[in-house]
Chain A
């Protein structure tokens, strides 16, 4: 099957470059190589994933039974807040930047990112930001307890951990903007001759659009948290009712950032799944062009739906209706994508290796999350479901079984390319099944809890909610500990020496598979490839 072993790539594989690479710590500190930086991002993201995961398990331990068992309510609020921030800004977003670094240059036939030095900066900025976030647990008053949405007036009243959180958000924003500039410039200017935009793999497309979203909304978030900071320390009253400010205005600014942000986390997932499903169905992606247009329309629409997070703040009815219809409109391009993936599998000769399993898991479970989103988009329904566990169920279906499952799928798919070794298929499948089962036990009951009226972000609850909370906690622990299997699979793969073929997936046909060996050499495409 790998008869077409990429003769091309071997030209570069021996790394016969004159300059010596620094080794050890220095290599990683000063590296400007897109593959090194991708690796750094991915490992960083995994560490943050475990950090946020520990917080989640503390939350679920507390909620295992009614009553206060392990943590006091203030600390519980800090846990939900920092769990959210760490997972969004520390785990999911950096993981996607890691994928972008590793893959985009190879997929478009570029030697590296457009601004390698800035790339190094983007990564090394996120580390101090993460340290600030986690360290804020240890300052007087405890970590931010306002929820990841940082709403005033709570956030204005809390102690110095808030200033650390705000600074962390500023740094992460700067890093994201630098990363996005890099990605857009790379895609626009460094494509190999013949690699027209409409020939790019969808992963590059979805990231191009994601990067534009980031550049458009991260500065808005930076502005919002700056206003929080001046309200706290410099006597302004943007959101402070005492001085004529308005906390509701913060919600508008935050969600103008916040809704595009959720698409920032999911669009690259669409790209990954669009690479994997055709590879394992052994058919080209159905409706490539419509995928590109659907992605673009989702991105554009995402700017006009933020009000669906604030149906209960007392907007005029016309406003509520506008946001309701606009939100439902997004389901149309999203549906186009789901349809295209299913049509790609239709009559394909499918096999079900781990990347494909995670992609199919993504497809089924993300769709459930999309449907609960549609339920929440109905204004009168949302007025009763807002701030209940139904919302928690919704966004975990789109973020965990959506974004995170796609990350897992992508890691399994490209591990051979990254390490040159094949992962242990049996253990990969074990990881998949434990994750799907644990995830559904943890989060499906939260729909019921929400419909029955259990509020989110509370450390204790009425007795009638006890049973489903117990299930949810059991599932959460199963899901959490299954991730150690993943860690084991990755390390085992790196160390196993189980060399894989240059084309481990016969159906995968983007440049990194057709033109390069496994593992991808340190420098690739220093002479530009031909693209037909």
Chain B
């Protein structure tokens, strides 16, 4: 093969390698893009809001069922109430009890899930144990609140929301 062709081939290969490298970068860039996008269209895990003055829509009410579980972690975790009824816009406080039944301190993180899933965007939280890691000493018991409201923007046919929290042991942060 003559040298000119050889050089041309190498040139083509370099260009294609740049494309491959860029696409590798794009694969990783999908992580922040995805987060931003979900944030922008409101598919996040319940919005965190400051203390706002929302209008209470007393004309209707929504039932919120409270579920609690832990995944692969022997913590006892339960909601102190099974469910509550509230008006959209009305601030509510619910309490959860968690017990670390293990003989060692454990750090875990609670993740929220709502059913139907589109309901998640209408749950606005002011305080939640799910905002940060929770570290419990061996055998420790704790009662933790969630302060939230259901947005008055929630559609009228949204009658019941199942609000669930699951504790996962925080990866790499076990002490």
A residues near B (Cβ < 8 Å) are: 114-115, 177, 180-181, 184-185, 188-190, 215-224, 227, 231, 234-238, 240-244, 246, 249, 252-253, 256, 314-316
Inter-chain CA distance A242–B16, complex, in Å, is 38
- Chain A nearest CB, measured from B163 CB (Å): 16
The reply to whether B31 and A249 contact each other, CB–CB distance below 8 Å, is yes
The reply to whether B20 and A219 contact each other, CB–CB distance below 8 Å, is yes
- Chain B nearest CB, measured from A30 CB (Å): 19
Inter-chain CA distance A412–B23, complex, in Å, is 37
The reply to whether A216 and B23 contact each other, CB–CB distance below 8 Å, is yes
The reply to whether A219 and B16 contact each other, CB–CB distance below 8 Å, is no
The reply to whether A189 and B5 contact each other, CB–CB distance below 8 Å, is yes
The reply to whether A216 and B19 contact each other, CB–CB distance below 8 Å, is yes
B residues near A (Cβ < 8 Å) are: 5, 8-9, 12-13, 16-17, 19-21, 23-24, 26-28, 30-31, 34, 41, 43, 71, 108-109, 111, 117-118, 166, 168-173
The reply to whether A252 and B30 contact each other, CB–CB distance below 8 Å, is yes
The reply to whether B24 and A235 contact each other, CB–CB distance below 8 Å, is no
Known: A115-B13, A246-B34. A241 touches B168 (CB 8 A): yes
Q: What would 23 A/B residue contacts be, using CB atoms closer than 8 Å?
A: A114-B9, A115-B9, A184-B16, A189-B5, A215-B23, A216-B19, A219-B24, A219-B26, A219-B27, A220-B23, A220-B30, A222-B24, A222-B27, A223-B27, A231-B171, A236-B171, A241-B168, A242-B108, A242-B109, A242-B170, A242-B171, A243-B109, A316-B41
Known: A115-B9, A181-B13, A215-B16. A314 touches B27 (CB 8 A): no
Partner of B21, one of A219, A227, A315: A219
Contacting residues, chain B, for A315 (C-beta < 8 A): 43
Contacting residues, chain A, for B19 (C-beta < 8 A): 215-216
Task: Give B42's nearest chain A residue, CB to CB.
Answer: A316
Task: Give A234's nearest chain B residue, CB to CB.
Answer: B172
| 14 extra interface residue pairs, beta carbon distance < 8 Å, beyond A185-B9, A221-B27, A234-B172 | A115-B9, A181-B12, A184-B16, A189-B8, A189-B12, A215-B20, A218-B20, A220-B24, A222-B27, A227-B31, A235-B173, A238-B31, A240-B168, A314-B118
Contacting residues, chain B, for A249 (C-beta < 8 A): 30-31, 34
Task: Give A232's nearest chain B residue, CB to CB.
Answer: B171
The reply to whether B171 and A180 contact each other, CB–CB distance below 8 Å, is no
Contacting residues, chain A, for B109 (C-beta < 8 A): 242-244
Contacting residues, chain A, for B173 (C-beta < 8 A): 235
The reply to whether A314 and B117 contact each other, CB–CB distance below 8 Å, is yes
Contacting residues, chain A, for B16 (C-beta < 8 A): 180-181, 184-185, 215
The reply to whether B9 and A223 contact each other, CB–CB distance below 8 Å, is no
Contacting residues, chain A, for B24 (C-beta < 8 A): 219-220, 222-223
Inter-chain CA distance A220–B118, complex, in Å, is 29
Inter-chain CA distance A252–B169, complex, in Å, is 25
Inter-chain CA distance A395–B28, complex, in Å, is 28
**Most central of A237, A242, A246 by chain B CB within 10 Å:** A242
Contacting residues, chain B, for A188 (C-beta < 8 A): 12
The reply to whether A241 and B111 contact each other, CB–CB distance below 8 Å, is yes
Known: A181-B13, A189-B12, A314-B118. A240 touches B171 (CB 8 A): yes
Known: A215-B23, A224-B27. A252 touches B34 (CB 8 A): yes
Task: Give A241's nearest chain B residue, CB to CB.
Answer: B111
- Chain B nearest CB, measured from A65 CB (Å): 35
Task: Give A111's nearest chain B residue, CB to CB.
Answer: B1
- Chain A nearest CB, measured from B152 CB (Å): 20
Partner of A219, one of B13, B23, B71: B23
- Chain A nearest CB, measured from B55 CB (Å): 25
Contacting residues, chain B, for A218 (C-beta < 8 A): 20, 23
Task: Give B38's nearest chain A residue, CB to CB.
Answer: A246
Inter-chain CA distance A511–B21, complex, in Å, is 35
- Chain A nearest CB, measured from B119 CB (Å): 10
Inter-chain CA distance A316–B34, complex, in Å, is 14
Inter-chain CA distance A185–B15, complex, in Å, is 10
- Chain A nearest CB, measured from B73 CB (Å): 9
- Chain A nearest CB, measured from B156 CB (Å): 17
- Chain A nearest CB, measured from B154 CB (Å): 16
- Chain B nearest CB, measured from A297 CB (Å): 20
Contacting residues, chain B, for A253 (C-beta < 8 A): 27, 30
Partner of B43, one of A185, A241, A243, A314: A314
Contacting residues, chain B, for A222 (C-beta < 8 A): 24, 27
Contacting residues, chain A, for B20 (C-beta < 8 A): 177, 215, 218-219
Known: A184-B16, A219-B20, A223-B28. A235 touches B9 (CB 8 A): no
